[in-house]
């Protein structure tokens, strides 16, 4: 148990729809990162939020967006879903600062049909 919870655990959406995934960070952690993991590959960094501000972004299009709330929980929003967006979406929280380890949630399995 890492204290990082994600919801929902599984989700099926139709191409073109929009989806919102949620993450509650570990108590005391002010940094949340989101990753996409396609089948058979390692997780790929989408973006990170630190104290409600985006603090770095990977190679993902603008239809991937996020929010971080004052309690440091976070949302990942994906618009205009494509079949290739089918993946495990992982949230990781950390304390922020040099070398702090990140703790991952169990992920949300998104299937786009």
Which residues here bind other proteins, judged by CB under 8 A?
2, 4, 31, 33, 35, 41-45, 48, 50, 55-56, 58, 88, 90, 92, 94, 96, 98-107
Structure token pair of residue 12: 């099926």
Cβ-based nearer residue to other proteins, 68 or 94: 94
Q: How far is the CB of 56 from other proteins (least distance, A)?
A: 3
Place of tokens 């929003």: 77
Rank residues 14 and 40 by Cβ distance to other proteins and give the closer one: 40
DSSP three-state, residue 6: strand
Smallest distance, other proteins to C-beta of residue 53, A = 11
In sequence order, which residues have a C-beta less than 8 Å from that of residue 43 and are 6 or more positions away?
Answer: 35, 36, 37, 90
Could you tell me if 110 and 89 are in contact, meaning their C-beta atoms sit under 8 angstroms apart? yes
Q: By C-beta, is 10 or 14 nearer to other proteins?
A: 10
């Amino acid at each position: 148990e890492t204290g990082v919870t994600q919801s929902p655990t599984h989700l099926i959406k139709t191409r073109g729809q929009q989806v919102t995934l949620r993450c509650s960070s570990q108590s005391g952690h002010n940094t949340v990162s989101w990753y996409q993991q396609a089948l058979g590959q390692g997780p790929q960094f989408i973006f990170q939020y630190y104290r409600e501000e985006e603090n770095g972004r990977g190679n993902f299009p603008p239809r991937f967006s996020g929010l971080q709330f004052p309690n440091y929980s976070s949302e990942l929003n994906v618009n205009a879903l494509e079949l290739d967006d089918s993946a495990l979406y992982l949230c990781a929280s950390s304390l922020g600062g040099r070398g702090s380890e990140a703790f991952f949630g169990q992920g949300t399995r998104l299937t786009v049909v």
